[in-house]
Amino acid sequence: MSLPFRKDFDKYKNINEDEILNKLSEDELKQLENVLEELDPENALLPAGFRQKDQTTKEVSGTFDREHLLAYLQKEALEQEDREDYVPYTGEKKAVLGVQHFSRRPQSNEDDNPDSERDLRNVVKAEKVKPTFEEPPNPTNVEESLQRVKANDPFLLDVNLNNIKNIPIPTLREFAKALESNTHVKSFSLAATRSNDPVAIAFADMLKVNKTLRCLNLETNFITGSGILAVVEALKVNKTITEIKIANQRQQLGTVVEMEIAEMLEENTKILKFGYQFTHQGPRARGATAITRNNDLVRQKRVERERL
């Protein structure tokens, strides 16, 4: 027995999605890709009405009059009767705990020795409030940095996009594409930029080609297990990255992903710092052992150079 609301869905069962996509032009496919990447119903930076496309089909029933609405709300509030108090108000005031100690002691000292100094042992000096200022926004010019990365600027060694939450997804992917041919950038950070799996996959493709980058920071983003797995597979090929951070993602990565991370760390002898908090004991122990081994190899090479 089929439910009534399911009858409307039967006509969509035999639709061939591949056939529909094949009929789209290249520009339409590009537009569809950008729409799917930018669609984020939980984007707190956008008003609620702009987080998705307008799907309203109803016509406007009338004009909006703000003054009329305020007058109506005020009239309703005045006409509504106040709720009676469950406990009647009597106006009585209760004593404060310890008030006798604070009020009588100075008075007794003044009565005994009017000329002596008042006992101030119980007076506490107020602490000066230290003002706390908000952290200033990231001053990095995104467009200028992108052009410098594309131009392979020899003076651009560090790119910091941390906490810039309004960078479009296509722009972040352009950074990854530009880094594939860049030979000067040593460190790249995009923590807390609302990056998702397409961005992680783009940077994974970059890691397979780039031979200059040493540090990559992907912390505090919306990357899931599939995006992290793409980065992990790329790190099995890349032998120049020495520090990478992927902690504090939107959801936990799970046992399978953590086991792949531990296996990658055991195969890669170049990673010296790995920013991730394992949730399972097995991968955590394997990862810690691998990082300790890599740092010990660096120490041994340094000692050998000093002996020569």
Per-residue pLDDT tens digits for 145-198 = 999 999 999 999 999 999 999 999 999 999 999 999 999 999 999 999 999 999
Lowest mean pLDDT among 9-13, 258-262, 301-305: 9-13
Q: What number is the average pLDDT over the span 48-61?
A: 70
User: Is residue 36 scored above 90 in pLDDT?
Assistant: no
Mean pLDDT of 121-127: 64
pLDDT for the residue numbered 108: 46
Phi, psi angles (nearest 5°) of residue 277: -100, 105
Weakest-pLDDT range from 109-118, 246-255, 257-266 = 109-118
**pLDDT grade for 138, boundaries at 50, 70 and 90:** very high
Higher pLDDT, 13 or 188: 188
Using CB atoms within 10 A of its CB, is residue 283 exposed (0-12), middle (13-18) or buried (19+)?
buried
For residue 269, pLDDT over 60 is answered with: yes
DSSP string, the chain: ---GGGGGGGGGTT--HHHHHHHS-HHHHHHHHHHHHH--TT-TTS-GGGSS-----SPP-S---HHHHHHHHHHHHHHSPPPPPSS------PPPTTHHHHHHHHHHHHHH-TTSPPP-TTPPPPPPPPP-PPPPPP---HHHHHHHHHTT-TT--EEE-TT-TT--HHHHHHHHHHHTS-SS--EEE-TTS---HHHHHHHHHHHTT-SS--EEE--SS---HHHHHHHHHHHTT--S--EEE--S-SS---HHHHHHHHHHHHH-SS--EEE---SSHHHHHHHHHHHHHHHHHHHHHHHHHHH-
pLDDT at 205: 96
Assign 39 a pLDDT band (cuts: 50, 70, 90).
Answer: low
% pLDDT > 90, the chain: 55
Checking if the pLDDT of 210 tops 90, the result is yes
Q: What is the pTM of this model?
A: 0.59
Mean pLDDT in the chain? 84
**Count of Cβ atoms closer than 10 Å to residue 261 Cβ:** 25
Tell me how far apart the alpha carbons of residues 65 and 172 are, in angstroms, rounded to a whole number: 43
244: which strand partners? 216, 274
- pLDDT band at residue 24 using 50, 70 and 90 as cut-offs: confident
User: Given a cut of 50, is residue 104 above it in pLDDT?
Assistant: no
Give me the mean pLDDT over the 51-55 stretch. Answer: 67
> Quick one: average pLDDT of 72-84?
88
Task: Look at residue 149 in the predicted model and tell me its pLDDT.
Answer: 96
Predicted pLDDT at 268:
94
